[in-house]
Amino acid sequence: MPQSLSSVLIHLVFSTKSRHPYITNDIETELYAYLATIFRACDSPVLKIGGVADHIHVLFALSRTKTIAEVVEEIKKRTSKWIKTKGDEFANFKWQAGYGVFSVSQGQKDVVIRYIAGQKEHHAKFDFEYEYRRLLERHNVEYDERYVWD
């Protein structure tokens, strides 16, 4: 029987709507665990999750049978519903409409894992918008400032 095999690593980045600091220390650990569960249910296991109050980074192995858009839609939909159950302060929670995805070679996997693990230190110096622009430029992604932020 023929096999269809894949090894596609994806670095996903997305923020809260208008970069509102919803991802508090109180929910961060539980949110990351829930994210990992959803990724696993999408046959896209997580290698690393990290972030700060206004955005998330995830390195994951993309399912052989699902598109990036399908996985991201499921992640954002389910976590958005979940966060709203965590208290009145999260009643208006929303993720930004867009996201960034970047391919990662096996040789760069550990570099990206360290980068994601160091988000809190990194963002003591740089805000999300600066970081996101640098990621887009580093990966040669053309973008229009009028549409990249929401």
Total domain count for the chain? 1
Q: Is the pTM of this model over 0.85?
A: yes
Spatial distance between the Cα atoms of 76 and 82, rounded to a whole number of angstroms? 10
The range of the structural domain enclosing residue 112 comes to: 9-148
- Cβ contact 66:39 at 8 Å: no
The pLDDT tens digits of the residues spanning 52-80 come to 999 999 999 999 999 999 999 999 999 99
- Which CATH number covers residue 64? 3.30.70.1290
Spatial distance between the Cα atoms of 36 and 49, rounded to a whole number of angstroms? 8
| Residue 136 forms part of a structural domain | yes
Residue 146: predicted pLDDT: 84
